[in-house]
């Protein structure tokens, strides 16, 4: 989404839809950001609006960009929400959408652990979202890789579900090794064991479409994805005589195994 957020100036308005307290940091854009969710987060930011995605309290064409980061799968009235997003977005505006692939191991484990996980809509093909919006071909589509951070015990603020015991009880050591192993199996066998979903970019990008290369290094705690070349250029990768290379997540500092291209 940062490919869109970084190009907006202070006069622009961004709708962060289904965001809770926010799906990106305040400093990610110079534009004015409005966070919207149907449930009020524990710590609601000053720019938060409590609203139903299918009944947005905004004027037509009032936003220059909309970010829907893993929210469409949770919305009961999906058709209504899509109609509202199209209504409040300017004709020349930008749209970023990320959704899980319901056919993947990651999403199935998520729904099993959370007894559905609040996922009401299943997307199983890369073309599902563009057809839903009738927006034609996106400017770019990026494959998203999983880190299974939803299994990380350190991410549970309340009591973890008992089912977590069946998948290593949220151990970061097991998540680190398991994620790395699934990436290697996918590379060797052409499988999709470690894939999570897709990200879509809609809008006009005069300087070229956003980068579509998938970031395979995704943090097992915060879920931030980082391009391999970027991590290496920063000197963040620690290579050892034995075992996989490692890196500390630039976003949260958690140790992860590094995956080469």
Neighbouring C-beta atoms of residue 184, cutoff 10 Å? 16
At 26 the three-state DSSP class reads helix
Residue pLDDT, tens place only, 51-106: 999 999 999 999 999 999 999 999 999 999 999 999 999 999 999 999 999 999 99
- Write down the pTM of the prediction: 0.91
Structural domains of the chain in order of their starting residue, each with its CATH number: 1-102+117-145+195-210 (3.40.50.150), 147-193+215-261 (no CATH)
Report the distance separating Cα 241 and Cα 83, nearest Å.
Answer: 55
Residue pLDDT, tens place only, 166-209: 999 999 999 999 999 999 999 999 999 999 999 999 998 877 77
- Output the CA–CA distances (angstroms, integers) from residue 22 to 36, 54, 86, 149, 161, in the order listed: 9, 19, 21, 18, 25
User: What does the pLDDT read at residue 135?
Assistant: 62
Q: Is the pLDDT of residue 224 over 70?
A: yes
Neighbouring C-beta atoms of residue 50, cutoff 10 Å? 13
Tokens of 52: 């139903």
């Amino acid at each position: 989404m940062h490919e869109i957020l970084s190009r907006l100036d202070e006069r622009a308005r961004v709708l962060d839809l289904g965001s809770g307290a926010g799906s990106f940091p305040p400093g990610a854009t110079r534009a004015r950001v409005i966070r919207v969710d149907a449930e009020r987060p524990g710590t609601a930011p000053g720019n938060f609006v409590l609203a139903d995605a299918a009944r947005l309290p905004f004027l037509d064409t009032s936003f220059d960009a909309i970010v829907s980061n893993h929210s469409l799968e949770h919305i009961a009235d999906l058709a209504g929400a899509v109609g509202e997003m199209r209504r409040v977005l300017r004709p020349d505006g930008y749209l970023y959408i990320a959704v899980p692939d319901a056919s993947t191991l990651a999403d199935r484990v998520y729904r099993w652990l959370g007894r559905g996980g609040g996922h009401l809509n299943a997307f199983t093909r890369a073309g599902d979202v563009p057809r839903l919006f009738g927006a034609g071909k996106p400017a770019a589509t990026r494959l998203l890789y999983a880190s299974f951070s939803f299994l990380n015990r350190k991410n549970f603020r309340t009591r973890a579900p008992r089912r977590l015991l069946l998948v290593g009880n949220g151990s970061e050591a097991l998540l680190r090794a398991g994620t790395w192993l699934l990436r290697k199996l996918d590379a060797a066998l052409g499988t999709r064991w470690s894939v999570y979903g897709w990200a879509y970019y809609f809008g006009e990008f005069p300087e070229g479409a956003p980068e579509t290369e998938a970031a395979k290094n995704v943090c097992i705690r915060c879920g931030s994805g980082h391009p391999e070349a970027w991590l290496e250029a920063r000197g963040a990768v620690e290579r050892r005589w034995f075992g996989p290379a490692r890196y500390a997540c630039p976003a949260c500092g958690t140790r992860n195994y590094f995956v080469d291209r």
